[in-house]
Chains A and B, each alone.
Chain A
């Protein structure tokens, strides 16, 4: 029989204590960098297997947003006359793609831990990888939609009206939305292991997300309603604009819809309304919403790491 182990002093005689690791210790998102090869494989697997065994395959990445777009365009644009926003179709679509990026990333990250239960229960690996890869996969699926948006914008003379700022705005919008969805995804993904209610809460949040941002309407309508019609304080509008998704949508409007609509508005004989004015704090709000998104990510991480130790037994 071996001696009592509680006498730990001579255990470290031959090998120093520092040579040992504690198994299962998580280093947070740093692990994701360390395991980047696996992350790459997970993203590749997620992308290539998504449309396996479907005849239309990648076309579904276009069909879904196209259907969504058509419904909104016909009902809101034509029936309800919201198309007084000039070039409403492009306006609508540039917002929808942002919402889709957010929804896909957030939803997939939330279910990523439960979806990989077999692995989480048996093999130790940084579990954040699943959430990160879910968001990256949604980004890959978002690219063809942006491609389509870009194509339409180009046909409308987008290229002659853009500046470096437009490109930067598009990139900033994607970054903010992705960080925000990863942060929320980590939080709800971790909670979802123990309480599957999280999935339903997320569904509900996503339902609201489309309407809580100026995708279907213009931000000026919110201001008119809140300040002029209801007489509520204007900081409510500021608060509304600080939603990272709202900012992402507005940045995309700035990057795609605005330059693409210039020709139309400036054309002689144009009788419609002028372009919706830029939101007052578009620039500085980019910084603020980025900070909000990063704070969400840190909070999501914190909760995730707190709950991570129990994943294997709760699944």
Chain B
């Protein structure tokens, strides 16, 4: 990355996140622990001061072991969690492919779920209507679209959920381990869609253990270990560090 003043899309400045783990869950537990002088809570530092700037149009992979803080970082960027210290700034519309299908209602039809989920992801009615056909075509389940989602196979469900998420109007796309959905042709289709987004100058932040997919999509790699950035630069260097 050059030192020229480029246009940042995400700025993460000295971000810390600490989780408080409760050991006492009720009044009884509290009293017992207090009498035995055991600690009532312990803290876990998930992120210990992360500094990261992601430029517009960059596609970056965040790598690291399980529990290194990758997903927490993504949640801070998406706004689901707030940092305890430091600052997260984003520019434009941020959309997360973080566990697609979280907003699906099993009792509703596929069609209703498309609208509901797209609205949950922040789309307006007119936008959804404009993209509806595209979404359904991408999911390849036209003939089942008026059935209740609870009758869908898990593959159909994931395809539809993914199709909605990927068609959200966005500037920054966050992805957490979802690249592994669907069968081979569908994954290929998703990869093409991601490349389209990259070509359109969107910013991609990918958290994944699937190095093959990451190699195809990303150019920059960041390795997080125990809540700290230990590497930031060329992707191959990051992969080498993680695989080592």
Contacts and interface: CB of A to CB of B under 8 A. Distances in A.
Contacts of B80: 24, 120-124, 312
Interface string A92-132: 00000000000000000000000000111111110000000
Contacts of A125: 120, 122
Nearest to B100: A122
A2 B50 CA distance: 13
Contacts of A2: 1, 52-53, 232
Interface stretch (A10-18, A201-209, A230-238, A264-272): A10-18
Contacts of B78: 23-24, 123-124
B201 interface: no
B98 A38 contact: no
B67 interface: no
Contact of B108 (A15, A45, A122, A124): A45
A42 B1 CA distance: 44
Interface in A1-56: 1-6, 8, 10-11, 13-15, 17, 19-25, 35, 37-38, 41-42, 45, 48-49, 52-53
A10 B6 CA distance: 9
A119 B102 contact: yes
Contacts of B182: none
A63 to B, nearest CB: 21
A11 B53 contact: yes
A42 B116 CA distance: 8
Interface in B88-108: 88-91, 94, 96, 98-99, 102-103, 105, 107-108
A125 B19 CA distance: 22
Contacts of A14: 5-8
Chain B interface bracket (under 10, 10 to 19, 20 to 34, 35 or more): 35 or more
A6 B50 CA distance: 10
B103 A23 contact: no
A122 B91 contact: no
A19 B91 contact: yes
B77 interface: yes
A38 B79 CA distance: 18
B151 interface: no
Contact of B124 (A4, A37, A49, A52): A37
- Chain A's interface size range is 35 or more
Contacts of B12: 5
Nearest to B72: A313
A57 interface: no
B233 interface: yes
B105 to A, nearest CB: 6
Interface in B114-150: 115-116, 119-122, 124-125
Interface string B63-90: 0000000000001111111100001111
B84 to A, nearest CB: 10
A283 interface: no
Given A41-B116, A119-B103, A122-B102, A6 B14 contact: yes
Interface string A45-87: 1001100110000000000000000000000000000000000
A8 B51 CA distance: 11
Contacts, number: 115
Contacts of A23: 76-79, 88, 90, 94
B98 A49 contact: no
B8 A122 contact: no
Given A5-B52, A23-B77, A41 B119 contact: yes
Contacts of B76: 23-24
A44 to B, nearest CB: 8
A52 B107 contact: yes
Contacts of B75: 312
A122 B14 CA distance: 23
B183 interface: no
A98 to B, nearest CB: 30
Contact of B79 (A20, A24, A37): A24
B81 A313 contact: yes
B13 interface: yes
A312 B78 CA distance: 12
A14 B55 CA distance: 11
B243 interface: no
Contacts of B98: 122-123
Contacts of B102: 118-119, 121-123
A11 B8 contact: yes
7 contacts: A15-B91, A20-B11, A21-B90, A21-B91, A23-B76, A38-B120, A312-B80
Given A15-B91, A118-B102, A119-B120, 16 more contacts: A1-B1, A1-B233, A5-B53, A10-B5, A11-B8, A11-B53, A37-B125, A38-B120, A42-B116, A45-B108, A49-B105, A119-B102, A122-B80, A123-B80, A123-B102, A125-B122
Interface of B: 1, 3, 5-8, 11-14, 19, 51-53, 75-82, 87-91, 94, 96, 98-99, 102-103, 105, 107-108, 112, 115-116, 119-122, 124-125, 232-233
